[in-house]
Amino acid sequence: METITPIVIVGGGAGGLELAAKLGRKHGAEQVYLIDRETDHIWKPSLHEVAAGTLDIHREGLSYFMLARDCNFTFILGTLTGLDKDSKQIHLAEALNEAGQQLFPKRTLNYGTLVIAVGSKSNFFNTTGAEQYAITLDATAQAENFRLKLLHALTSNVVGSSHEPKPLQITIVGGGATGVELAAELTEAIASFHFYGVNHLTPERHLSITLLEGADRILAALPPELSARATRLLQSRHIRVCTGVRVTEVQAAQLIDSEGNVYPSDLCVWAAGIQAPLFLRDLGLETNRMNQLMVNARLETMDPFIYAMGDCAQAPWMGGEGYLPARAQVAHQQASYLYKVLSARLRGEHHPAEFKYKDYGSLVAVGHTKGVGSLMGVLSGKSWFVEGLVARTMYMSLHLMHHAAVMGVMRTFSIVLGRLLLKRSAPRIKLH
Ligand SMILES: Cc1cc2nc3c(=O)[nH]c(=O)nc-3n(C[C@H](O)[C@H](O)[C@H](O)COP(=O)(O)OP(=O)(O)OC[C@H]3O[C@@H](n4cnc5c(N)ncnc54)[C@H](O)[C@@H]3O)c2cc1C
C-alpha cells in the first residue's frame, strides 16, 4: 500500500495555512509540512490597505516559524518549481538573498500526499507595457513598493515647491472589488496625510484617481444596483470612474485605451484579473487557460495523491453554475473540507462527501474611516448597504475567522485587542 504521509502543503495563504494549522494540531509536525516562499504570512485581502499605508505590514504579518511551533506543523521555506509524480517528490528552487548569495541550494522533498495552494497573480492579458510599468497587489513586497512610491511621490511633489503642486495622478486598471477598495482606501490615506498636516495635502487638490474598467459597469460580478451605488460613492470622493475602457498600453507616464484615449498616470495599479502561476502548466497535471489546476468535486487532481485548492485550482461549483470564484471565502471553506478528507485518509477511512461551497455573499468596503465607512454586500441575491462600525466588523469577520482557524479564538481575541490598543498610540497611516 502506498504511503500517504507526510502531507505536504505548498502555499501558506488563506487556504493552505488554515489547512496546515488544523492538520498539524491534530496529527503533528512529523506528518504535516507547510512550504511557502515567504517567511511571513499575510492575509492577502489586506494588501490594498498595506499599499495605501493604512495598515502596517510589520504589525500585520505572522511568522510561519512561529505558527509552525504553535500549530505543530513543520515549516519549510522554499519555492515550488517542479514535481515528479512517479517518485512522489517535489522540487524547490535555489534561494538567494538580496546580494545574490545562495541561502539554500535546489532541493527535493518526498511527499505522501501533496496539496497545492499557491494562489494566483495578476493577469496582464499581454497588454503592452503593463508588466513593466504597472504595480500589482499580488504580494506584500509589491504592496509595500506601491506605498513607498506613493509616499515619495506625495512628499517630493510638494516639499520645497513654492507654487501649488500638480496633483498626483493614480490610475487603477480593473473595477472589481480590489480596484474599488484600493481607490477608496487611497482617498482615506490622503485624508490621513492631511490630518497630520503633511504638506497640507488634501484629497481634492493633491490626488487624482482614475478607475478604468473594461465592462460597462464596475463590480460587474455584483448586482447593477450595487455598481451604481459604488460609482456614486467613489465619485463623491472625487474618484473618476471610466467604464467600457479597454487599456491597450501602459507607459511610464500615461495609459492608452483601444480608442486612442490617453490617461495621464504617475502611478498605475493593475487589478484587472488573475491567473495561476505559470509553472503549474509543467507539473504534468491538467490545467486550464488561466494555468489553474483542474480538480474534481473532491478537490483531487488527476493524480489521486495530489489535491489543489484556492485560487490556483479550478473546482466545479456543486449546486451552482460553472466554477468556484477565486475568493478567500472559497479557500477558507476548502481548507475545512480538506481537513476532514485528509484526516479520514490518515485514519484509513474514506470521507464520502464532495465539496459544497456555501456562498455567504460578497462585501466591498468603500473606505473605513469613522463617519464615512461604508460597505456593500450581496447575500442570497439581496443587496444591502451598511455603514460605520457594523460595516467594519462585518468586513473584518472573514479575516477574524481566518485568524481563529489558524490560532484559535483566544489568541485571535488577544491579537485584536492588542491591535486596537496599539492603534491608539500609532499614527493612522504609515508615514515612514
Ligand atoms: C487586494 C486584494 C483584496 C482582496 N479582497 C478580497 C475580499 O475582500 N474577499 C475575498 O473573498 N477575497 C479577496 N481577495 C482574494 C483573496 O485574497 C484570494 O482569493 C485568497 O487569498 C486565495 O487564497 P489562496 O490560499 O488560494 O492563495 P493566497 O492567499 O494567495 O496564498 C498563496 C500562498 O502561496 C505562496 N506561494 C505562491 N507560489 C509559491 C511557490 N511556488 N512555492 C511556495 N509558495 C508559494 C504565497 O507566498 C502565498 O503565501 C483579495 C485579493 C487581493 C489581492
pLDDT greater at residue 421 or residue 293: 293
Which of 245, 272, 299 marks a domain boundary? Answer: 272
Ligand 1 nearest atom to the CA of residue 42, by list position: 49
Quote the pLDDT of residue 372: 43
129 and 250 fall within a common domain: yes
Given pLDDT bands bounded at 50, 70 and 90, which one contains residue 52? confident
pLDDT in tens, 321-357: 789 999 999 999 999 999 999 999 999 999 999 999 9
For residue 14, report the distance from its CA to the centre of ligand 1, in Å.
Answer: 6
For residue 153, report the distance from its CA to the centre of ligand 1, in Å.
Answer: 28
253 and 309 fall within a common domain: no
Residue 220 domain flag = yes
pLDDT greater at residue 166 or residue 232: 232
pLDDT in tens, 132-144: 999 999 999 999 9
Is any ligand 1 atom within 6 A of the Cβ of residue 36? yes
CATH for 238:
3.50.50.60
For residue 208, pLDDT over 80 is answered with yes
pLDDT greater at residue 237 or residue 80: 80
For residue 60, pLDDT over 50 is answered with yes
Is any ligand 1 atom within 6 A of the Cβ of residue 21? no
The number of domains in the chain is 3
19 and 100 fall within a common domain: yes
Residue 355 domain flag = no
Cell of 139: 504580494
Alpha-helical runs (H) found in 347-432: 388-407, 409-425
Quote the pLDDT of residue 382: 66
Residue with the smallest CA separation from ligand 1 atom 44 is 36
- CA 116 – CA 375 distance, rounded (Å): 33
Q: Which residue has the cell 515619495?
A: 152
pTM of the complete model: 0.91
Given pLDDT bands bounded at 50, 70 and 90, which one contains residue 364? confident
Say whether 205 sits in a helix, a strand or coil: helix
171 and 210 fall within a common domain: yes
Is any ligand 1 atom within 6 A of the Cβ of residue 219? no
Range of the domain at 27: 7-120+276-346
Whole-number Cα distances in Å, 192 to 185, 203, 297: 11, 10, 46
Helix (H) or strand (E) holding 179: helix 177-195
CB 180 within 8 Å of CB 234: yes
pLDDT in tens, 256-309: 999 999 999 999 999 999 999 999 999 999 999 999 999 999 999 999 999 999
CB 74 within 8 Å of CB 210: no
Residue 432 domain flag = no
Residue with the smallest CA separation from ligand 1 atom 37 is 118
407 and 268 fall within a common domain: no
151 and 74 fall within a common domain: no
For residue 126, report the distance from its CA to the centre of ligand 1, in Å.
Answer: 22
